[in-house]
């Protein structure tokens, strides 16, 4: 709070495409898609139209005992896209994580394996900040203060390719990390309900990218030891890694997928946890306590579901995943011409780019953020890691502005 004495809040008046605009008419390129939610730019006409159409029909009805058209359509659509046929809705990512954790635990309990009460996650993982989600998150600055409140969970070595030894390939390192999971589960599987992971990219932990062979191997190991695999695609879902969902790149089917952030194109809060028929069946019973007694007031909100349907329709209409390949090629070509810079681990996966700045300045993050805003660019480095996660509609001249501004600011702030 006190930092805002030096860095006042920026009041935004309106926005269009990749540009935010303040009350003085100054524009800022939204290089992080407003915390990774805004997939198709601000003021997107098709999402707006879908919400207003829905607004004239039905804004909301509780989902307990009721249903409505947008939630049915969205569930069908997400079921087709993920291969997981059952949806449970909430309004934010952390709640989707909570739902997956509770449902996994309860599944094992209903299946007579009530010792399965613990969870595994990765070192440097991020799954949200409510108490359950924070228990499987491994980012010290968010977690340490609340440690006495949290459930114990166990962290497996991160397959982040930056941690590979000299001469070791990303794949070899990822497989080495997966073998650690195998050894751990061989001893402890009887107590473990689920392993929750961010597929392909550990975003909040500093855009750590890893090989899909890890997911493939961990899927086999989890199946072997009767441990659920929860794919937290809250950040990477909806095309961020190049495929609609990151798990597709490893050709695996997790037991649960958590989705949020980009799901409504950044228009309204919505999240969903998807799971298999097998999990669904374990709760299907005459006994009420075998059911999943978890609810949120705004579960499956009709306006949010209509925004999500419009977002999914844009992927089809605009052939977004194919179009994004051109944007990626353009950005990669520009980055390839960067030459000598004080950076390492320049990396890229789908519509995310990141690099680590080599600097002795302890104020790099702060200075870069502030200087970039002065120049009309919104980027939020994570420590010394600068990343781009722009809206998919970013154009070439906007890319040029984002990259040239970043290049000069890295030189100035490092």
Q: Enumerate binding residues for ligand PLP (CB under 6 A).
A: 92-94, 97, 126-128, 198, 203-204, 232, 234-235, 260-261
* For ligand PLP, the closer CB: 97 or 211: 97
Q: What is the DSSP string of 346-382?
A: EEEETTEEEEEE----TTHHHHHHHHHHHTTEE---B
Least distance CB 128 / ligand PLP (angstroms): 4
Taking the C-alpha atoms of residue 184 and residue 70, their distance in angstroms, rounded to an integer, is 43
* For ligand PLP, the closer CB: 178 or 236: 236
Least distance CB 236 / ligand PLP (angstroms): 7
Structure tokens at 231: 């794919």
Least distance CB 152 / ligand PLP (angstroms): 20
Structure tokens at 220: 């086999």
* For ligand PLP, the closer CB: 235 or 247: 235
Taking the C-alpha atoms of residue 230 and residue 92, their distance in angstroms, rounded to an integer, is 17
Least distance CB 270 / ligand PLP (angstroms): 10
Residues, the chain: 414
Taking the C-alpha atoms of residue 356 and residue 133, their distance in angstroms, rounded to an integer, is 27
Taking the C-alpha atoms of residue 155 and residue 124, their distance in angstroms, rounded to an integer, is 8
CA 136 to chain CA mean position, Å: 15
Taking the C-alpha atoms of residue 268 and residue 260, their distance in angstroms, rounded to an integer, is 10
Least distance CB 155 / ligand PLP (angstroms): 15
Q: What letter does residue 388 receive in the DSSP assignment? A: E
CA atoms lying within 13 Å on the CB side of residue 103: 34
Least distance CB 36 / ligand PLP (angstroms): 7
Residue nearest to ligand PLP (CB): 93
* For ligand PLP, the closer CB: 260 or 365: 260
Least distance CB 272 / ligand PLP (angstroms): 12
* For ligand PLP, the closer CB: 92 or 255: 92
Taking the C-alpha atoms of residue 270 and residue 258, their distance in angstroms, rounded to an integer, is 11
Cα-Cα end-to-end distance for the chain: 25
* For ligand PLP, the closer CB: 110 or 273: 273
* For ligand PLP, the closer CB: 84 or 343: 84
* For ligand PLP, the closer CB: 235 or 378: 235
Least distance CB 337 / ligand PLP (angstroms): 31
Q: What letter does residue 47 receive in the DSSP assignment? A: H
Q: Could you give the dihedral angle defined by the CA atoms of residues 4, 8, 9 and 12, in that order, rounded to the nearest 10 degrees? A: -170
Taking the C-alpha atoms of residue 137 and residue 123, their distance in angstroms, rounded to an integer, is 8
């Amino acid at each position: 709070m006190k930092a805002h004495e030096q860095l006042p809040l920026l009041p935004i008046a309106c926005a269009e495409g990749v540009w935010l605009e303040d009350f003085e008419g100054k524009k800022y390129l939204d290089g992080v898609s407003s915390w990774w939610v805004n997939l198709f730019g601000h003021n997107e006409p098709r999402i707006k139209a879908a919400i207003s159409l829905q607004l004239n029909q039905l804004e909301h009805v509780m989902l307990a005992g009721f249903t409505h058209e947008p939630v049915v359509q969205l569930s069908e659509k997400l079921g087709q896209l993920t291969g997981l046929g059952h949806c449970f809705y909430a309004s934010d990512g952390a709640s989707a994580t909570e739902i997956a954790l509770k449902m996994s635990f309860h599944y094992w309990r209903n299946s007579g394996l009530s010792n399965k009460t613990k969870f595994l996650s990765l070192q440097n993982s991020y799954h949200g900040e409510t108490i359950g989600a924070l228990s499987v998150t491994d980012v010290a600055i968010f977690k340490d203060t609340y440690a006495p409140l949290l459930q114990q969970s166990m962290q497996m070595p991160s397959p982040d390719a930056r941690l590979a030894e000299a001469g070791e390939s990303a794949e070899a390192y990822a497989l080495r990390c997966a073998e650690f999971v195998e050894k751990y589960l061989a001893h402890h599987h009887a107590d473990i309900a689920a392993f929750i992971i961010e597929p392909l990219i550990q975003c909040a932990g500093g855009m750590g990218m890893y090989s899909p062979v890890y997911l493939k191997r961990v899927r086999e190991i989890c199946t072997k030891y009767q441990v659920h695999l929860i794919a937290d695609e809250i950040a990477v879902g909806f095309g961020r890694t190049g495929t609609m969902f990151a798990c597709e790149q490893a050709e695996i089917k997790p037991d649960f997928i958590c989705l949020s952030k980009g799901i409504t194109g950044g228009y309204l809060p919505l999240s969903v946890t998807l799971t298999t028929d097998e999990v669904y069946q374990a709760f299907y019973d005459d006994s009420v306590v075998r059911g999943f007694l978890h609810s949120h007031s705004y579960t499956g909100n009709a306006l949010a579901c209509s925004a999500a349907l419009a977002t999914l329709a844009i992927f089809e209409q605009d052939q977004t995943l194919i179009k994004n390949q051109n944007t990626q090629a353009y950005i990669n070509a520009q980055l390839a011409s960067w030459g000598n810079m004080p950076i390492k681990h320049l990396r890229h996966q789908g519509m995310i780019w990141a690099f680590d700045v080599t600097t002795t300045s302890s104020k790099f993050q702060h200075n870069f953020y502030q200087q970039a805003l002065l120049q009309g660019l919104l980027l939020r480095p994570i420590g010394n890691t600068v990343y781009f996660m722009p809206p998919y509609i970013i154009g070439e001249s906007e890319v040029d502005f984002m990259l040239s501004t970043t290049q000069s600011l890295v030189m100035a702030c490092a």
